[in-house]
Structures are given as structure tokens and as C-alpha cells.
Amino acid sequence: MKPSVNLLSPDNHALVLIDFEGQMAFATHNIPVSELRTNVAIVAGASKIFNVATVVTTVAEESFSGPVFPELEEFYPIATSGYIDRTSMNTWEDENAYKAIVAKNKKKIVLAGLWTGVCIVGPALSAIEEGYEVYIITDACGDVTAEAHERAVQRMIQAGAIPVTSIQYLLELQRDWAREATYGPVTSLMKKYGGSYGIGIHYAHNMLKH
């Protein structure tokens, strides 16, 4: 009855959130930005609920790309979270970001960010080459066109990366509703950001008293 080693758990991976900033979102067109923001909230909220080893990195925050999404700062306030700002498009090539990621000492790395074809492909391929298992939260990534996003995802999959989605990520960490310590926070996160799934949970809690 052992779970697969390929499943994500709260303590077997590091999460890297890359460049969820206004300037990067302005040109994102493969996914509505409102939906992207919701998915970012689910991922960031999940990482906080389960105390996942997380690195938040930005690019030229003060001079070009601007502040991070409010949904990210809700869970990782800039004043206390120690964002790593870069000039390099490939997070893996930034010394401070690289050191922060590898210091988490996790074999699996989960990536989400903007843009898929540049700022996610770079660290994904680089980490795979160094022997890490890489997962991409594809609906929490965005690019300038749908084709740019899809070609980037295909390229990463061909190199060995594993695609997942934001709600899949959250529920894979929870995995058992009998885990009462996180049941409340997970369902609260879903009621706020989970769309139709969240309103279903809200209904069940209120009408069925579950």
C-alpha cells in the first residue's frame, strides 16, 4: 500500500515561483490573466498550508517588471519572504537563486511562472540536466501566445519534465481527507479560489454539514 515515489508530497520537493509580475502578465495571452492569478493563489496557498520548501524569484522588480501578483504576496509578503531578484532570464544561471534552490536539498523541483518558453524552460532543462526530477504546473504558467506556451511545455516534456495542474498539485499534497490538520485550510483555499469546485465545497459544508 505504498504510494508511488513519483507522487509529490509536502516534504519531497522544492517549489520555485518565477516572475509573477505585472509586466510579465501584460503580454500573457495563452490563459486569461484572471484565471492565471487564481491558479497562482492555489499553488502559493498550497505551499503555505503544507510548509513546502519554496523559493520566490523576480526579474528586475524595481526597474522593469514591477511588483508580484497580490495573490502571491498574500501568502508570501515581500517584507518577510526574501524574494530573489535577478537579471538573468534563466533562474538557474543566477547564483543567488541557484544556491537558494539547491540548498532546499530536494530531488524534485516544481516550477511555475512567466513566461513558459523562457523563464520556465531555462531552469527546467538546466535542472533536468543536473539530475533533478522536474514538474511543471502548466496552468500556473503563461506565455505570449498559446502556441508559445504549448511548444514550451512539449519541449520540457520531451526532456523529461512532468506536467501537473494547480488543483492537482494541491490535492496531491493533501491526498487523504482524513488528514484533519490540513483539511480545513485546503477546503477554505478552494472555497475562495477553486471556482466551481470551490462552490461545491461551500455547498456541501453548508447544506450537507460536511
Please give the C-alpha separations between residue 85 and each of 21, 75, 95, 170, 174, in angstroms, as whole numbers: 12, 18, 11, 26, 31
The CA distance from 154 to 129, in Å, is 17
Whether 141 is catalytic: no
Phi, psi of 94 (to 5 degrees): -90, 125
Rounded to 5°, the CA angle 208-42-65 comes to 155
126 grid coordinates = 538546466
Distance of CA 197 to the CA centre of its chain: 19
Query: In whole angstroms, what separates CA 129 from the centre of its chain?
Result: 21
Q: What is the DSSP string of 103-141?
A: TT--SEEEEEEE-IIIIIHHHHHHHHHTT-EEEEEEEEE
Element (H, E) at 16: strand 13-18
The one catalytic residue among 119, 125, 134, 167: 119
Any idea which residues carry the catalytic annotation? Answer: 119
